[in-house]
Structure 1
Amino acid sequence: MPDPLLNIADIDERIAILKENLRELVEQSASYSGAADDDLMSRRIAEQEAEVELLTKRRDELSQTRS
């Protein structure tokens, strides 16, 4: 769960890190083979995407309250 005290700059930084992690996970998943590896990578990618979505919503909420 994202920290509610984060500011927009902190959230943007975390989003950038997560997107880089996602890029690396996608590259890794392309090189792995096997159902177990695919399932693990799919879960990790889904977790990272969910966190990006939560942080993006939080950033948008903060932006609206400051407008």
Structure 2
Amino acid sequence: MSNESSLSSAELNNRIRILEDNIRQLIEQAAAASGEQNEARIADRLHQQNEELERLTRERDARSKPPTT
């Protein structure tokens, strides 16, 4: 994965929106999935997307905090 600190705030926010949409779609797929293998694959992908979302959200939040002096 690329270095998120090199992303502009707009790019970071856009990636967060994309991840949120991906997660929504994966949840919909999980609800419609049948078969243990499909469910496991979707669950793994959902876990990865959630981790990425959390990481990017932390990065965005860290950028919005005023510097400590």
Q: Match for 1:44: what amino acid?
A: R
Higher RCO (CA < 8 A, seq sep 6+): 1
Aligned residue in 1 for 2:18: 17
CA RMSD of aligned residues (A): 1.8
Q: Normalised by the size of structure 1, how large is the TM-score?
A: 0.87
Q: Which moved more, 1:39-48 or 1:5-14?
A: 5-14
What does the per-residue CA deviation read over 1:23-54, in whole Å, with 9 as the maximum and x for residues that have no partner?
11111111111111111010000000000000
Is the contact made by 1:15 and 1:55 (CA closer than 8 Å) also made in structure 2?
A: yes
Q: Normalised by the size of structure 2, how large is the TM-score?
A: 0.84
Is the contact made by 1:29 and 1:41 (CA closer than 8 Å) also made in structure 2?
A: yes
Q: Which runs of 5+ in 2 are unaligned?
A: none
Q: Which runs of 5+ in 1 are unaligned?
A: none
Is the contact made by 2:19 and 2:53 (CA closer than 8 Å) also made in structure 1?
A: yes
Q: How does 1:22-41 map to 2 (within 5 A)?
A: 22-41=23-42
Fraction of identical pairs, as percent = 36
Q: How does 1:54-65 map to 2 (within 5 A)?
A: 54-65=55-66
Distance 2:34 2:66 in 1: 46
4+ residue runs over 3 A deviation: none
Is the contact made by 1:22 and 1:48 (CA closer than 8 Å) also made in structure 2?
A: yes
Aligned residue in 1 for 2:54: 53
